[in-house]
Structure 1
Amino acid sequence: MSKTFTPAEVATHKTPDKGLYIIVDANVYDITNFADEHPGGAKILKRVAGKDATKQFWKYHGDNVLKKYGDKLKIGEVKDAAKL
């Protein structure tokens, strides 16, 4: 069921009404419903919505976070030819 996205497609999902998507390691995550649960607050996630958040994600999180939430939030991958 995994879908492929271009960075431009992900970039259109940067508001709660259109959905909040982020890219982490070429995987696309829909964080719309998770934003309010985020321990660091929704504001931080809204800042990186629609973007490649890999650098910011790994700065503050370990592998355990993706193991816990990744399968629930992952909706696809960035197309190989269009990776950031």
Structure 2
Amino acid sequence: MGNAVIVTTQMPPDQARALRAAVRAQYLMSLNEHWYADEYRFVPADVRHELILERSPVMAAQKSLMAALSLSLKAVKQS
């Protein structure tokens, strides 16, 4: 990702956990909507998730944000 956008922020762990939970809830709702949409009905289940992410930049960003939050929370917990 040569021209990636880098976002840096600081927040207390309880806010990070709350944000992660909110983003996860939105992500799961979107995934459920896409999963059963006519557009993906005939896409095999083992590749459907990746195809949805390729076509939905918001969901791909949510997945990256959840991973970054989880990693940061893990680092704080270990220190």
User: Is the shorter-chain TM-score for this pair beyond 0.5, marking a shared fold?
Assistant: no
- Relative to the length of structure 2, the TM-score reads 0.29
Say which one has the larger Rg.
2
Greater helix proportion: 2
